[in-house]
Amino acid sequence: MTGTNPTVAPVTGAPATTVPGSAPGGLVKSVVELDRVVIRLAGDSGDGMQLTGNRFTSETASFGNDLKTLPNFPAEIRAPTGTLPGVSSFQLQFADHDVMTPGDAPDVLVAMNPAALKANLGELPGGGLLIVDSDEFTPRNLAKVGYATNPLEDGSLEGWQTVSVPLTSMTTDALKDSGLGKKEAERSKNMFTLGLLSWMYHRPTEGTIRFLERQFRRKPEIAAANIAAFRAGYNYGDTTEAFTVSYEIKPAPMKPGRYRNISGNQALALGLVAAGRLSGLPVFLGAYPITPASDILHELSRHKSFGVRTFQAEDEIAGIGAALGASFGGALGITTTSGPGVALKGETIGLAVMTELPLVIVDVQRGGPSTGLPTKTEQSDLLQAMFGRNGEAPVPVIAPRSPGDCFAAAVEAARIALAYRTPVMLLSDGYLANGAEPWAIPDTDSLPDLRPAVGFATEPNGSTADGTPEFLPYLRDPETLARAWAIPGTAGMQHRIGGLEKADKTGNISYDPANHDFMTRTRQAKIDGIAASIPPTDVEDPDGDSRVAVIGWGSTYGPIGAACRRIRSSGRKVAQIHLRHINPFPADLGEVLARYDRVICPEMNLGQLALLLRAKYLVDVQSHTQVRGMPFRSAELAAVIQDAIDSTSASLNGAPQ
Amino acid sequence: MTTVELGMPDAPTPIDAAIARSLEQHGPKQTELKGKDFKTDQEVRWCPGCGDYVILNAVQSFLPSLGIAREDMVIVSGIGCSSRFPYYLNTYGMHSIHGRAPAIATGLAASRPDLSVWVVTGDGDALSIGGNHLIHALRRNVNMTILLFNNRIYGLTKGQYSPTSEVGKVTKSTPMGSLDHPFNPVSLAIGADATFVGRAMDSDRKGLTEVLRQAAEHQGTALVEIYQNCNIFNDGAFDLLKDPATGPMWTIPLEHGKPLVFGPDGASCVVRDEFGGLRIAETNQVDASEIVVHDATREDPSYAFALSRLSSQDLRYTPMGVFRSVRKPSYEQMMAEQLHEARLQGAGDLGELLAGGDTWEVGA
Ligand SMILES: Cc1ncc(C[n+]2csc(CCOP(=O)(O)OP(=O)(O)O)c2C)c(N)n1
Ligand code: SF4
Ligand SMILES: [Mg+2]
């Protein structure tokens, strides 16, 4: 039989091939080959959708597909069961080629209850595959979300391929001999669902079984029940007539090497551990818990065997204060937070600017202002990172572009902080933090050696008027303008630093007007000078002669990249510029931007990078913004870019080139 | 790009290397020092007659007795007149921002247990803007000594009332008198379960030095409240206790193991009251066995707390000396132990860490 391909026609248009197979009981099942799929799992916050999604992701990653994920959950730990605010979802796109986003819209939606259906159906394109847990469509649950009639019965789902499966009762049936009560057994329905999906998409199952054994080490009966439910779901897929097609998505060609699946927060934490090892310095993290940054604190707390000290402070200010104190003592001081925390840390960041001590400040951005949207993503702290302090207090700002890239960004943040004796802002966001992708595990030998950047001073570097040798803490390296850094315990190098303006070289308190002017400009010049140590602007322009460029920073890399691909496959030309360094910009950025007739800047804020680019380069950047707490959809971006390209060529038609 | 010996976490860190290098140049650590060795070339900028001078002199002449090399001492301060202190001591120092010194010192002391870490703060710095850091530092018990210069006023900002000013204080910001009730810093510290709490007077060199000595020897966070005269904005704030005519009457000297008898001819004493607290009595009205014998080492803080409550906000019946000094493991020690324990399970290997979890190989 021909598989009715439940997925939207793949972008690359690979026709589905079918391979008839047979299932026990003589049922003929076919296998359809797809090049990519987007699945969204949606359920109640208590249904374990994030765990299910993460497991499916791990299976998919270890199978060798490329993938991107988008967890989306409410800020409340448990909103009332079965309600719209309580819906939690997890979307992933996986493919036999490299993918840049978790997908604009799902091809397959799994809805574990009426609320999940109501909240997500609008985004499932017509004809898409919809799997629902029919057990949950009770009058009470329907009423909770305002369904007057049961959508499974009233014909309203006709536009989709709806498969209604009693997931809950099949799970409890499968576990009736497990010794677990009904309520407890029901909780394994997510694993039943995972089993079913694992069958549908030919996912390897050993990883999940091992995971469940590990996870419930101390509760073997729960481990056994979950594994039984998982297997039951798999076998159900294999035998039922409800699903006659399963899908194969071949592994994606990837660069040779060893891979793992990694989330942004995990990669960031590992990058910080690596930075400690690469610099030889002990890592000290001072942090106060905040979504979506807390997982970095959790992860680093597990790596004490690397000499990593983690300090859960009484508040955000103490978190950064302790980190700065540790830096003064020669540690790699780090603080991790989100936007509200950065607001509180501002004064201490200024102190770090003035004392010229290394410090890494990680801001995992979330929707703002104020408490805003704690679990949703946004890029709206850029200007806060740039300017959110009193006085002229320049701070380098860098941003990772994908979950795995958080690792390299963390190492780079530490490099700049150490080499230039400066606080550095690392701007991740909720999408990167919780999203995941396969990550090529770097060879430790290929990582940069940060030890030369440390260079503690151990000898006097000047002399007093009478010729006595003395230590001048504000004598600078002529190239980097980094000041001399001597740590307590170093004999003969005692000195005092602080937030009051420093006299050049000696670091003594100085209120001299000319000195303040000089020091203010010097601190700025030091940060500007970092540009000399960073690579030129990263431009992806396969055709080489695009007239329109799209520029972005941070987590928009994937959606912009996917949009650019669409544009190119339509025969148009576009350049993608993506910034790792936002302060300072790469030295050639101005020249690069000047090459294009049009520059578009998509951001998940109201145009913060665009403002900086316009101010610095006088380029008429076209800002395209969105603050929905979700990443851009690449189709929408593609439409914006296409418009820009078509109107640019129209306006230039006939004009001398 | 050179590679790092990634598998060897116990290789000397750049910190150890720097210290070793400096010792090669300087010879062995110099621990036999004089008061003048702790002076810096910075001009002291307090108002003439300020109590801060007296404290500075006392500290400068006391520090050598600790036998700690200057490079191993760090003084962290906040903002206020008192917080200028680090500039005048030839140690490492950081004059930080308003109220945050305990937090900064916590990170330093937790990551460098080899250092002797001191905090200098004022009543506004420690109890207003930095109140949160102070109480958490005290309960956490990181090894550091906090000197709280209490002049019962905001000196640097020119004389507004502070969280230790008495009710009704008339200042520029409270022309009709302040409304809020003051903190008793010693009560606050004991309430936060501080392991060491003492109080001393700026002008009492001997008493101050004795409390400082015990505080410095204490393992954990020590808080010393130092009554300090601001002769510009709150002159004479402690005269009741300083005046030879009234001082002995209102001061309760605390000496571990000694009965709490005070006043001219030992006329007054401290006894237990019927609610489990303490009260003042006339010595000749009570049996000698009823007089409380001072014990700073009591685990239960309620005794030290009761002691701190004897004084009123106008300073009558003010105990001076060490209220409480108990042993508890200090934070940085326990932190170091956890690190050590984790390493016993196997020193961190970066390559292994990066390749953690489920991995797969993609062939060429
Ligand atoms: C964030 C901030 N707010 C306000 C100030 C202004 N300020 C400086 S010192 C001070 C009060 C200091 O009082 P105290 O701690 O008692 O120190 P003293 O000057 O009396 O020694 C204030 C309010 C500041 N420096 N920083
Ligand atoms: S204002 Fe008061 S506390 Fe400040 S220096 Fe002058 S006398 Fe001392
Ligand atoms: Mg004061």
Whether residue B156 has its Cβ less than 6 Å from ligand 1? yes
Residue type, B59: V
Ligand 1 touching residue B283 (CB < 6 A): no
- The correct answer on CATH 3.40.920.10 for the domain covering A30-248 is yes
Pick among A490, A501, A506, A510 to test the B interface (most B CBs inside 10 A): A490
**What pLDDT score does A17 carry?**
46
pTM over 0.80: yes
Length of chain B: 364
What is the pLDDT at residue A78? 77
CATH superfamily of A260-453: Thiamin diphosphate (ThDP)-binding fold, Pyr/PP domains (3.40.50.970)
Q: Does domain A539-652 have CATH number 3.20.20.140?
A: no
* Distance to chain A for B248, nearest Cα, Å: 40
Residues of chain B in contact with residue A303, where contact means CB-CB under 8 angstroms, are 348, 353
Provide mean pLDDT across the span A148-163: 96
Does A507 contact B at CB distance below 8 Å?
no
pLDDT at B9: 46
Q: Residue B193 half-sphere exposure, CB side, CA atoms within 13 Å?
A: 9
Residue among A211, A265, A268, A277 with most chain B CBs within 10 A, to mutate: A277
Alpha-carbon gap, residue A87 to A111, rounded angstroms: 10
> Is residue A45's pLDDT more than 70?
yes
Residues in chain B with pLDDT < 70?
A: 1-11
Quote the tokens at residue A194.
């995972």
Instruction: Determine contact: A271 vs chain B, CB below 8 A.
Output: no
B117: left (phi over 0), alpha (psi -120 to 50) or beta: beta
ipTM associated with this complex: 0.96
Tell me the CA–centroid distance for residue B75 and ligand 2, in Å: 20
pLDDT confidence band for A28 (50 / 70 / 90) = confident
Residues of chain A numbered 475-494 and touching chain B (CB < 8 Å) = 486-494
Q: State percent of chain A over pLDDT 90.
A: 91
The pLDDT value given to residue A543:
87
The answer to whether residue A469 neighbours chain B at the CB level (below 8 Å) is no
Mutate to test the pocket of ligand 2, among B230, B234, B235, B238 (most ligand atoms within 8 A of CB): B230
Strand boundaries in A217-342, DSSP class E: 245-249, 257-263, 283-287, 309-312, 332-337
Tell me which of B24 and A6 has the higher pLDDT.
Answer: B24
- Please tell me the distance between residue B100's alpha carbon and the centre of ligand 1 in angstroms: 11
Distance CA A407, CA A410 (A): 5
- Checking if the pLDDT of A12 tops 60, the result is no
Over residues A25-45, mean pLDDT: 89
Q: What is the pLDDT of residue A77?
A: 80
Q: Do A509 and B87 touch (CB under 8 A)?
A: yes
pLDDT tens digits, one per residue of A213-253: 999 999 999 999 999 999 999 999 999 999 999 999 999 99
pLDDT computed for residue A99 by the predictor = 94
**Cβ within 8 Å, pair A441-B3:** no
The residues, any chain, with a CB within 8 Å of residue B43's CB and separated by 6 or more, are none
C-alpha of residue B182 to centroid of ligand 2, in Å: 20
Give residue B5's pLDDT: 38
Which of A281, A317, A494 minimises the CB distance to B92? A494
Q: How far apart are CA A572 and CA A566, in angstroms?
A: 9
CB distance from A159 to chain B under 8 Å? no
Distance B150 CA to ligand 3 centre (A): 5
pLDDT-based confidence at residue A24 (cuts at 50, 70, 90): low
State the SS3 of chain B: CCCCCCCCCCCCCHHHHHHHHHHHHHCCCCCCCCHHHHCCCCCCCCCCCCHHHHHHHHHHHHHHHHCCCHHHEEEEECCCCHHHHHHHCCCEEEECCCCCHHHHHHHHHHHCCCCEEEEEEEHHHHHHHCHHHHHHHHHHCCCEEEEEEECCCECCCCCECCCCCCCCCCECCECCCCCCCCCCHHHHHHHCCCCEEEEEECCCHHHHHHHHHHHHHCCCEEEEEEECCCCCCCCCCCHHHHCCCCHHHHEEEECCCCECEECHHHCEEEEECCCCCEEEEEHHHCCHHHECECCCCCCCCHHHHHHHCCCCCCCCCEEEEEEEECCCCCHHHHHHHHHHHHHHCCCCCHHHHHCCCCEEEECC
Return residue ranges of chain A for CATH 3.40.920.10.
30-248
DSSP annotation of A633 reads: P
A355 inside 8 A of chain B by CB: yes
CA distance A102 to A436: 9
The answer, yes or no, to whether residue A1 has pLDDT greater than 90, is no
How would you write A94-147 as a 3-class SS string?
Answer: EECCCCCCCCCCCCEEEECCHHHHHHHHHHCCCCCEEEEEHHHCCHHHHHHCCC
Domain ranges of chain B: 14-253+321-345
- Residue B58 pLDDT: 97
Smallest Cβ–Cβ distance between A325 and the set B73, B76, B114 belongs to B76
Residue of B45, B231, B238 to test ligand 2 pocket, by largest number of atoms within 8 Å of CB = B231
Tens of pLDDT, residue by residue over A101-154, are: 999 999 999 999 999 999 999 999 999 999 999 999 999 999 999 999 999 999
Q: Cα(B282)–Cα(B298) distance, rounded to whole angstroms?
A: 25
The number of the ligand nearest the C-alpha atom of B152 reads: 3
pLDDT, average across residues A170-190: 94
Distance B125 CA to ligand 1 centre (A): 6
Residue A14: pLDDT band with limits 50, 70, 90: very low
Q: Do residues A110 and A134 lie in contact, with contact meaning Cβ atoms separated by under 8 Å? A: no
A302-313, pLDDT tens digit by residue? 999 999 999 999
Is it the case that residue A655 has pLDDT exceeding 70?
A: no
Kindly indicate whether the domain formed by B14-253+321-345 is annotated with CATH number 3.40.50.300: no
Nearest-atom index, ligand 1, CA of B78: 15
The residues lining ligand 2, judged by C-beta closer than 6 Å to any ligand atom, are: B 46-47, 50, 52, 81, 151, 155, 230-233
The whole-chain average pLDDT of chain A stands at 94
Chain A's closest residue to B114, CA to CA, is A489
Ligand nearest to the CA of B156: 1
